[in-house]
A and B are shown apart, each in its own frame.
Chain A
Amino acid sequence: MTTDVDVLIIGAGASGAALAWSLAETRMRILCLEQGDWVNPADYPSTRRDWEVRMDREFSPNPNVRRRPEDYPINDDDSPISVVNFNGVGGSTILYAAHFPRPHPSDFRVRSLDGVADDWPINYASLEPFYALNDRQMGVAGLAGDPACPPHEPPLPPVPLGLAGETMARGFNALGWHWWPSDTAIATQEYEGRAACVNLGPCKAGCAQGAKGSADITYWPVARRAGVQLRTRCRVREILVDDNDMATGVVYYDERGVEHLQRAEVVVLACNGVGTPRLLLNSRSARFPDGLANRSGLVGKNLMIHPWGMVRGAFDAPLDSHRGPLSCCILSQQFYETDRSRGFVRGYNMQITRGLGPVATARMGVARGDIPWGEGHHEAFARRFGRSIGVGICCEDLPEECNMVTLDPTLTDSNGIPAPKITYRLSENTERMLRHGLERGTEVMKAAGAWDAYGEGPVRQTGWHLLGTARMGEDPERSVVNGWGRSHDVKNLFIVDGSVFVTSGGVNPTPTIQAVALYIADAMKQRLANLFD
């Protein structure tokens, strides 16, 4: 038996780290259990010559490819999109692009404004102070004044546009469309002990420079200095409850596979939109035969994943496009807000990405037939390498109960814990939105001067944004947690990750995941005397 704690957080990623940091000032005994390990920045691919190959292997975002001991497999056979993540201190921020756009106020009022899905029980204004706080903690770079977003002041200047960004900016201007330098969690100057970005390129394989704001180097060092305990390589099997429907603690396995019981007064789930429902569904008991905190039947339902389109263009002029933060440059929200004349509701964000490295350029070109074997190989490669740009189309998908996380009947992790199964398909609305985005992405590529442009989607290896599987709301019949993250069914159980999203917006969700975690932490602090009432 281990020492009892006041607050037990499961998961040391974006949301768990933010919540731990915020609660540290209460001086409660706080423990975080993380199934992964610390990552040594010296091990990141960009420190080695074979960085492009290592990105696809031991640092692959797909746990089914990466297959580290701390990873759990995910059955994604029934989905056109694979779930991608990272299990370790910092969670998926280790491998995320650090593209950090804020959502719009309308993203929280989808039912009221557009007549679809549901409104959130909280709104942009209530989260705004926590977006700002999180921007400072993560070290966000950007440019104030974006007319597509409520006013805010990123603490650091934006990442460089580069010739690629400038080229696309001229294309957007030619069409009269919105664009703006992206908010990014990248230190463009020395910031809070972090070195400034030196444009290594592969942010999505971890940042050896330490310029990218991943939660292991932003929130965690401060939270640990303030007394929060973080225990790695501890995989939780189930959450326990008593006869009063109160969580009493968890059962977990350590690195050697030894089983432990950890008691706690409060349990907080921060395992992302797949890991959290998996753990709840694995926590069955006589009082919760369908999974813990699942009397609504909605745990695991309404999975939203942001189907992703990608348009790639090649240009005549050398653009040095293979240099600079790969997925952070500029964005366009021209087609973000609802316009029913487009044939769909809601919208998408266009995220300009830079070019690929030489290995990826050659492999993709040969696989597509753009770069031949033999004669003409070098000329075709030269026409694309350093001269290519991407437009990512991040589509808002709406909550549907048929899109879900369940437990696979046979697949397990290395501790024998049932693994998650994903069942997902694109709705007709999302299909139309994606087609529109691919067409508009191709249009702006051509307006920018591309001699070749092609689009594809949904792109399979893009299931980063795992949302909606334990949604928040005031009605216990229609939601899993209340408006400040507390389970309707288990009064000392909180969920703070992307599972609680009611709708998904059309932007990368980490700023909102962390703002919601900070908001919930603040709500807990304000209610400490009667937290379980």
Chain B
Amino acid sequence: MTTDRVDIADSGQPLTSGQRATLDIVLNMIVPPSADGRMPGAAEVGVPAYLFAEAPDALPVVCRELEELDRRSRERFARGFAELEEHERKSLIEEMRAREPSFMSRLSMETLACYYQHDRVLEGLGMEARPPYPKGYQVVQGDLSLLEPVRARGKIYRDAP
């Protein structure tokens, strides 16, 4: 992995270009774009900027795990993670997560938080990209005649002095 540093958009914080390349690949392995193009991949929703802005305490562990992934890739395949075939990447990450279940779990959780708040994702799910307030939502009232058998069975609590 190279050590030259580039700025992440909107963050002003450094991440090596190698880490960034590995990160983008991993993000789309967590949530890939949907085949019909309706849902973006996680690499398209600004996860790095989200990490810097909303979860800076996750950055050290994320960077360390990206380095570890690349190191293991070179050990096993004699190539960096970004240069692996898709099936090789998948098998390497599965192996590392099988050995250490928490491996990349923080990245996974932060990625999901960023992804499922993004306009394109919410619109892809058929939702309006807005906060709940002030508009709120419609909920059907429901059929209260379903209570008839409950009423018919009568009182079920105990009296007590």
Contact = CB atoms under 8 A, between A and B. Distances in A.
Interface of A: 44, 46-53, 104-106, 108-109, 112-113, 123-124, 143, 145, 147-150, 160-163, 165-166, 169-170, 172-173, 176, 178-181, 197-202, 208-209, 320, 323-324, 333-334, 336-337, 357-359, 361-363, 366-367, 373-375, 377-378, 385
A366 B137 CA distance: 27
A374 B86 CA distance: 11
Contacts of B157: 104-106, 147-150, 333, 336-337
B156 A49 contact: no
Contacts of A358: 116-117, 121-122, 125, 127
B110 to A, nearest CB: 9
Interface of B: 29-32, 34, 39, 54, 90, 105, 108-109, 112-113, 115-117, 121-122, 125, 127, 129-144, 146-147, 149-151, 153-161
Contacts of B136: 197-200, 209
10 contacts: A50-B117, A106-B159, A166-B143, A172-B150, A176-B153, A200-B137, A323-B137, A323-B139, A333-B157, A385-B125
B106 to A, nearest CB: 11
Given A173-B146, A375-B32, 15 more contacts: A47-B131, A49-B130, A53-B54, A147-B155, A150-B157, A166-B142, A181-B144, A199-B136, A200-B133, A208-B133, A358-B117, A358-B127, A359-B112, A362-B112, A374-B30
Contacts of A47: 131, 133-134
A106 B137 contact: no
Contact of B161 (A109, A176, A181, A361): A109
A154 to B, nearest CB: 14
B160 A112 contact: yes
Contacts of B134: 47, 198, 208-209
Nearest to A143: B144
Given A145-B151, A179-B150, A363-B113, A46 B156 contact: no
Contacts of A334: 156
A179 B148 CA distance: 11
A200 B54 contact: no
Nearest to A146: B150
Contacts of A49: 117, 129-131
A209 B133 contact: yes
A113 B159 CA distance: 10
Nearest to A107: B160
A359 B116 contact: yes
Contacts of A166: 140, 142-143, 146
Contacts of B39: 378
B22 to A, nearest CB: 15
B150 A178 contact: yes
Nearest to A112: B160
Contacts of A357: 116
A369 to B, nearest CB: 10
A225 to B, nearest CB: 27
A106 B161 CA distance: 8
Nearest to A323: B137
A374 B29 contact: yes
Residue of A53, A123, A176, A181 with most chain B CB atoms under a 10 A cut-off? A53
B147 A180 contact: yes
B108 A374 contact: no
Nearest to A358: B116
A182 to B, nearest CB: 12
A199 B139 contact: yes
Contacts of A149: 157
Nearest to A50: B117
A178 B147 CA distance: 9
B73 to A, nearest CB: 17
Given A333-B156, A374-B90, A375-B32, A366 B149 contact: no
Residue of B32, B116, B135, B151 with most chain A CB atoms under a 10 A cut-off? B116
B98 to A, nearest CB: 12
Contact of A202 (B132, B140, B142): B132
A147 B132 contact: no
A408 B160 CA distance: 40
Contacts of B153: 147, 176, 178
Given A52-B117, A378-B39, A147 B151 contact: yes
A170 B153 CA distance: 16
A362 B116 contact: yes
Contacts of B132: 46, 51, 200-202, 208
A48 B134 CA distance: 10
Contacts of B112: 359, 362-363, 366
B87 to A, nearest CB: 12
